[in-house]
Amino acid sequence: MTRRIRLVAMVALLGLAMPAGGCGLSADGEPQVIAAQDLPADLLDPNPPTSTTLLDPGATAAVTVFLVVREGDTTRLTPVEREVGDPTSPGERIRALLAPPSTQEQEEGLISSIPSDTVLLDTSRADPGGDELIVNLSGALFDVQGKELANAFAQIVWTVTEIPGVRQVRFKVDGQAQRAINDEGVEQPGAVTRSDYGSLAPAP
């Protein structure tokens, strides 16, 4: 064979091999039906894994929020459970906290220092993947002052730091940066943490 004849023969053989090589097209370029026995086994599995199945939209989960209890001259936070749709959502946790104490909670002497008409406007992370959360509330938060306001900040800080990865909290009121006060009533220049409300820590 001459070199030219050998080249033509090789091209012809490649052309014949292409459809059988898994491209799924015939020589005329039209798609062909692939027989079931030729499909990968995982495409035919009648029982695919369910690990990525979405949760029931109506399902809820119990999360911890913090209310206030007074015993004599002592005021402290106390954990209670509330139901939310997404336990990883700071917004859902805060809205659960803002709900008025239930009848049972009131009978147990639990109250909230957060004014009842306070509204959560939004939450955001200071940095993607960071441990600092920004909480933006309505101005009704300042319907209380002094110790009650410190208690309100403490309730929010302790509640959102229940979320894995959240350790520090900054506040906004109606979209404007707002310094939180600690348990001694002192304005803090930066983010606050649970340690700023140590005297209000729940009973061990």
Residue 185 included in any domain: yes
Burial class (CB in 10 A: 0-12, 13-18, 19+), 16: exposed
Structural domains in the chain (count) = 1
Q: Please indicate, yes or no, if residue 42 is contained in any of the structural domains.
A: no
Q: Is 50 part of any domain?
A: no
| Best CA proximity match to 173, nearest among 133, 140, 132, 127 | 140
- Supply the range of the domain harboring residue 92: 61-197
Whether the full predicted model's pTM is greater than 0.85, yes or no, is no
Residue 164 in any domain: the answer is: yes
In tens digits, the chain (204 residues) has pLDDT values of 444 444 334 434 444 444 444 444 444 555 555 554 554 544 444 444 333 333 566 789 999 999 999 999 999 999 999 999 999 999 999 999 999 999 999 999 999 999 999 999 999 999 988 999 999 999 999 999 999 999 999 999 999 999 999 999 999 999 999 999 999 999 999 999 999 999 999 998
**Cβ–Cβ under 8 Å, residues 93 and 85:** no
